[in-house]
Amino acid sequence: MRRTSLAVLLLLAACQRSPVTDGTARDGGASPSASGLERAAIETGVIADTGRTSPVGLYQRSHEAGRDMLCIMPDGKGAFRFGAQAMFGEDQNCRGRGHARRAGDKLILSFERADRCIIVAQYDGDQVALPGVVDMKCAALCEGRGSLEGVSFPRIGNDAASALRARDARDEPLCE
- Shared domain check, 127 and 40: no
Tell if the pTM clears 0.75, that is, is over it: no
User: Does residue 85 fall inside a structural domain?
Assistant: yes
What is the reported pLDDT for 22?
42
- Shared domain check, 34 and 63: no
* Separation of alpha carbons 130 and 11, rounded Å: 41
What is the reported pLDDT for 46?
73
- Shared domain check, 137 and 102: yes
- pLDDT tens digits, the chain, 176 residues: what are they? 555 554 544 444 555 444 444 444 434 445 555 678 877 876 776 766 666 789 999 999 998 888 999 999 998 888 999 999 999 888 889 999 999 999 989 999 999 977 789 999 999 999 999 999 998 999 999 998 889 999 999 999 999 999 999 998 888 999 87
- Shared domain check, 115 and 82: yes
User: Does residue 170 fall inside a structural domain?
Assistant: no
Where do the H-state alpha helices sit in the chain? 2-15, 36-44, 160-165
User: Does residue 15 fall inside a structural domain?
Assistant: yes
Count structural domains, the chain. 2
Give the contacts of 59 (CB within 8 A, at least 6 positions apart).
69, 70, 71, 72, 127, 128, 153, 154, 155, 156
Domain that holds residue 39: 2-44
